[in-house]
Structure 1
Amino acid sequence: MATILISTTHSSFSCCSTRKFAATINVPKIQATKIQKPTPPNRSLVAKLDYQNNYTSATTTTNVKEDPYYTCSIKSSAPNSMEIVKLHLIMEIVSDRLEMHKNIGIQRDNWNHLLMTSVNMITLSAATLVGIVANGSSGAPLVAMKVSSTILYIAATGFLLVMNKIQPSQLAEEQRNAARLFKQLHGELRTRLYLGNPSENDVNEAMEKVLALDKAYPLPLLGSMLEKFPQTVEPAVWWPLMKQRYRRTEEGSKGNNGWDSRLENGMKEIMKVLKKDMGEYFRLSRIVLNLNKILAVSGPVLTGLAAFGSACLGSVNAPWPVMLGVIGGALATVVNTLEHGGQVGMVFELYRAALGFFKLMEESIEHNVIEQDPDKRENGELFEIKVALQLGRSVSELRQFAAVVSSSDDENASEEFASKLF
């Protein structure tokens, strides 16, 4: 017990007095106890609580998020989790392919511009040297300029042989097409994942499409490069062999899955008219291919003749060495600019890709029409919209076009082509 003395002073006008008070305060005794260090909770318990919190928040907001602890421990409730993981893996590969083809396409387009400019400058420089030698140079300057022009023409011939073999403009167009198709495949996989419940068939189909694109548009130049001057024109094929991949959109659905006799007959007529479009593009492809062959041979021949003419300067008393050296170089420059500046190889690849587009549409329509079970086809309404948009038409225009074609005896009687895009 403790006693505290408190002194107070009271003052007034008359007197002053001092009073003392004693106060007693009872202070409880504090007993020291041993403090124990808290032990950390079990990691499995933390993981379980963390999972419960995540699961509760996910189900109350989006009902989509899955916890890794849950998917690893309870596989029976997520039977398609492995297929989802596989599709995500394929999407990553597709994204990587897309970037590769974009970068390589830019690089090969730069090849076309840089090589064309360099070869033209080399050829014109050699022709200029030949003209200077013909104006009366003699002695050491004559020999130096003659040898220089000959070396430049030989170098231009070698560059042209390489350029005409690989066709950089056509290579760049191949990579642009591949990048577009890989982007399209990436969108298809993303849509498939959004719809949910993917199957093993979806995974196999995605892998087949990736491999088909790799085969149709190879990246390396040596060994697997596409033939730039084929004997016959063939459409580009970037899709795998079509199998029966379509499945019923709704279990227990009744009806014809959007198909009827009008739609089937209309698609058959459109498939016939597509052959007219393909025939026109076959004709254009052959014209461009033959023109490219002529230009590819003419360029090196002209620079080779010019090199021979420059080598004969001063040793032959005739005007033809100068004519070959100057006129050959000028013509070679024109031919090289027309072939690579005009990107004739790129135009041929455009026509080849258009042929592949029509061939894919024809196979897709045929694949759906010959299938007897409507539930194994693509949905008729969606398929009609897709075909109409791919041909650059509305659904009503597509139906009118099919009616006009079916009313005529010959699908070639109409001057209009099936596609309005190409």
Structure 2
Amino acid sequence: MASVVRQLAGSSLVLPAKSRSRGRSGLCCRANLRGVGGNSTSTTTSDQRQLVSSIDELTLARVDPVAGAEDRVVIGTGDDGATEVGKLRAVAEAAADRVQMHDIIGRQRDNWNHLLLHSTNSLTLAACVMAALAPASTSLLALKASTGVLLASAAVTMAAVNKIQPSQLAEEQRNATRLWRQLERDVRATLALGASSATKDDFFQEAMDRVLALDAAYPLPLLPGMLEKFPNTVEPARWWPKKNPARHSACKKMSSNTRHGARRASMAGDNGWTPELEEEMRGIARVLKAKDEQEYLSFGKVVLKLNRVLAVAGPALAGTAAIAAAFIGSGDAGTSWASGAAILGGTLAAAVNTVEHGGQVGMVFELCRNVTGLYRKIQDDIEDNLDEANVERRENGELFETKVALQLGRSPSDLRQFKGMASPSFRDEDIRNFAGELF
């Protein structure tokens, strides 16, 4: 034990001189060690405990987390790299906050859909029962007035609910929550990689563009700013930034020889891109545009027309029933006709309201828009990579192929069947299979 103490005492145990307090603790440690080493012949249990305590203090001083945090703060002061990291952290925090906001609002609007559906149907059916009992009741005036008020309230409620489409609003918020989570994961993954300041600066601008695009695509406020629920034309949802016009026009102006001749001759295996992979991507983009996107756009137009008809029919039937209720008791023939019309109109209004909001027709339309937007985004990603003349600046070809395959619900080997569809001689009418298998 004495020899061990002498070795420790003679070795150079130097503490990081970050602060005076830590320097004094280091001196105390060396003093304790020397004291134990000087009395090597009478090493007792208390001396051993003192040695262990001194070594523990030395270890804690070296790995002090507070001191490490202080070091990081000092290094980051006035450093451009730390500024860019701070910007990206701000984007990540904003994305996390948007996730919570959209999630909360989505749950709230989904509750709106269920509560308003059941409340409106309860008003309508209660009015129908009163209209049936009114002709034979002694309190005809009270039942007649109650029937009219309930049916009028149901008509107004249906018109308001059909205008905002709560099921469609809830679907918007669900999709927005997923996309904001994706943005947050991308930003935090970039921070974890520790890229250079220039790369972080480029990614920060891209992240800011994505933030603005998401805010525009899925607004939080209900009025004003709500997306049009009955648009004149059905367009895919767009939640990603638009292309840079200057860069896109410059790429388009490049000659065909530069893009497909000399570059392709030396491109074999460069960054994972090959001529076969390029043809494969062009074929996928063509199939997505000609088949998958058009299929969901057509289905979305049908759903929109159905939703528009139901949105008008429900309040109209309820309003007609309310008017008919006003004539209950005006005569023998009139009483029978008015009561029957009120009952029939109210029942049909409740049925239409159930089909529209119980079946969540607005949510189905929004789902079609979002799926079409996903296919449009894949097309834009493919075009962005193929328009980039410098292969090294593209995303890795093999990685990009895997991403596209996963987004379409296929394996990378399945995508090779679309290579021949990029040829101009291949007609759109000859395309039989869809590119996407996930939706």
TM-score (norm 1): 0.80
Q: Which residue of 2 aligns with 1:34?
A: none
Q: Which residue of 1 aligns with 2:413?
A: 396
Counterpart contact for 1:405–1:411, Cα < 8 Å:
no
Q: Which residue of 1 aligns with 2:320?
A: 305
**CA distance in 2 between partners of 1:53 and 1:87 (Å):** 35
**CA distance in 2 between partners of 1:278 and 1:148 (Å):** 50
Distance 1:274 1:86, change over 3 A: same
Shift of 1:404: 6.5
**CA distance in 2 between partners of 1:386 and 1:206 (Å):** 19
Q: Map residues 98-247 of structure 1 onto 2, 5 A cutoff.
A: 98-134=99-135, 136-138=136-138, 141-197=139-195, 198-243=199-244
1:330 aligns with 2:336: no
Identical-pair percentage: 47
1:283 aligns with 2:281: no
Counterpart contact for 1:288–1:348, Cα < 8 Å:
yes
Distance 1:43 1:392, change over 3 A: closer
Distance 1:262 1:45, change over 3 A: same
**CA distance in 2 between partners of 1:77 and 1:172 (Å):** 45
- Quick check: which one's strand share is greater? 1
**CA distance in 2 between partners of 1:54 and 1:74 (Å):** 22
Q: Which residue of 2 aligns with 1:3?
A: none
Shift of 1:204: 1.6
CA deviation string 1:267-286 (max 9, x = no partner) = 11111001121111110000
Q: Which residue of 2 aligns with 1:264?
A: 278
Q: Which residue of 1 aligns with 2:44?
A: none
**CA distance in 2 between partners of 1:348 and 1:360 (Å):** 18
* Partner residue of 2:20 out of 45, 66, 69: 45
SS at match of 1:421: coil
**CA distance in 2 between partners of 1:209 and 1:262 (Å):** 31
Counterpart contact for 2:148–2:323, Cα < 8 Å:
yes
Q: Which residue of 2 aligns with 1:410?
A: 427
Distance 1:269 1:55, change over 3 A: farther
Counterpart contact for 1:273–1:412, Cα < 8 Å:
no
Shift of 1:185: 0.9
Q: Map residues 321-400 of structure 1 onto 2, 5 A cutoff.
A: 321-400=338-417
Distance 1:392 1:254, change over 3 A: closer
RMSD: 2.8
Greater Rg by CA? 1
CA deviation string 1:180-212 (max 9, x = no partner) = 101111111121112212521211211211121
Counterpart contact for 2:327–2:338, Cα < 8 Å:
yes
> Which 10-residue stretch deviates more, 267-276 or 400-409?
400-409
Counterpart contact for 1:310–1:325, Cα < 8 Å:
yes
1:296 aligns with 2:311: yes
Counterpart contact for 2:283–2:421, Cα < 8 Å:
no
**CA distance in 1 between partners of 2:211 and 2:287 (Å):** 30
CA deviation string 1:30-82 (max 9, x = no partner) = xxxxxxxxxxxx995247899x98995499xxxxx993433443459965222
Shift of 1:150: 0.3
Counterpart contact for 1:235–1:359, Cα < 8 Å:
yes
**CA distance in 2 between partners of 1:56 and 1:77 (Å):** 26
Counterpart contact for 1:112–1:169, Cα < 8 Å:
yes
SS at match of 2:134: helix
**CA distance in 2 between partners of 1:307 and 1:400 (Å):** 61
CA deviation string 1:137-165 (max 9, x = no partner) = 24xx0000000000000110111011000
- Quick check: which one's helix share is greater? 2
Q: Map residues 14-25 of structure 1 onto 2, 5 A cutoff.
A: none
**CA distance in 2 between partners of 1:66 and 1:399 (Å):** 56
**CA distance in 2 between partners of 1:289 and 1:300 (Å):** 18
Counterpart contact for 2:276–2:419, Cα < 8 Å:
no
**CA distance in 2 between partners of 1:332 and 1:339 (Å):** 11
Counterpart contact for 2:286–2:421, Cα < 8 Å:
no
AA aligned opposite 2:95: V
Distance 1:48 1:144, change over 3 A: farther
**CA distance in 1 between partners of 2:365 and 2:176 (Å):** 16
**CA distance in 2 between partners of 1:377 and 1:56 (Å):** 44
**CA distance in 1 between partners of 2:428 and 2:361 (Å):** 32
CA deviation string 1:309-330 (max 9, x = no partner) = 1111011432321221000011
**CA distance in 1 between partners of 2:241 and 2:368 (Å):** 21
What number of residue pairs does the alignment pair up? 365
Gaps spanning 5+ residues in structure 1: where?
1-41, 60-64, 246-252
Counterpart contact for 1:55–1:67, Cα < 8 Å:
no
Counterpart contact for 2:125–2:346, Cα < 8 Å:
yes
**CA distance in 2 between partners of 1:130 and 1:49 (Å):** 93
**CA distance in 1 between partners of 2:233 and 2:107 (Å):** 29
**CA distance in 2 between partners of 1:205 and 1:408 (Å):** 38
**CA distance in 2 between partners of 1:147 and 1:323 (Å):** 16
**CA distance in 1 between partners of 2:342 and 2:77 (Å):** 81
**CA distance in 1 between partners of 2:371 and 2:24 (Å):** 58
> Which 10-residue stretch deviates more, 315-324 or 168-177?
315-324
SS at match of 2:430: coil
